[in-house]
Amino acid sequence: MPKIIIKPQRVSEAKRFYQILNNPNFIFLRIRMNGFRDEIAFMKKNAEKRRNNFEHNYTIFCDGKIVGAIGMKINQHRPFTGEIGYFVDEEYWGKGIASLAVKQLEKIGFTKLKLKRIEIVMDIRHPASEKVAIKCGYKKEGIMKKAIETDGKYCDAYLYAKTK
């Protein structure tokens, strides 16, 4: 079993994230960068987002290597609710890494951030992401019509959640 840990993101990791995110096989991922500088700019905002309890972003390490990222956006209208999003390098797909990272971030969400509800929203055409939610004990609450945008198209999404 690989050793999976998450740590707060650092700007020095931007190059690796840019490499992962530019994989053309990431067809369900909503993040599109116009260039490496966009990734650096995004990373530089992490400290402020964390201080304002807006977003908490982490790097996923597998046996010491950067293999992806995971984050929690805090709902600003319902600050007791967070939404988890994640991505993993294609080379590491299907190895349970996202599930282990979700469990670690969930613990932070319910303990340190004092959340009462955590959601995972995914494109209904993305069975791997749905499998992560189920494996981590999240319950399907329904389908959200045209809830996410992928490459300029609005798509339906599953809403999975867990409460404390």
Tell me how many domains the chain contains: 1
Residue 131 domain flag: no
Q: Is residue 10 part of a domain?
A: yes
Between CA 149 and CA 54 the distance in angstroms is: 21
- Structural domain contains residue 117: yes
Is residue 130 domain-resident? no
Q: What is the CATH number of the domain that holds 33?
A: 3.40.630.30
Query: Is residue 40 one of the residues assigned to a domain?
Result: yes
pTM (2 d.p.): 0.92
pLDDT over threshold 90, residue 82: yes
Q: Which domain holds residue 87?
A: 4-122
Q: Is position 90 within any domain?
A: yes
Q: Is residue 148 part of a domain?
A: no
On whether residue 82 sits in a domain, the answer given is yes
Please write the tens of the pLDDT for every residue from 3-45.
999 999 999 998 898 888 888 887 766 566 677 788 888 889 9
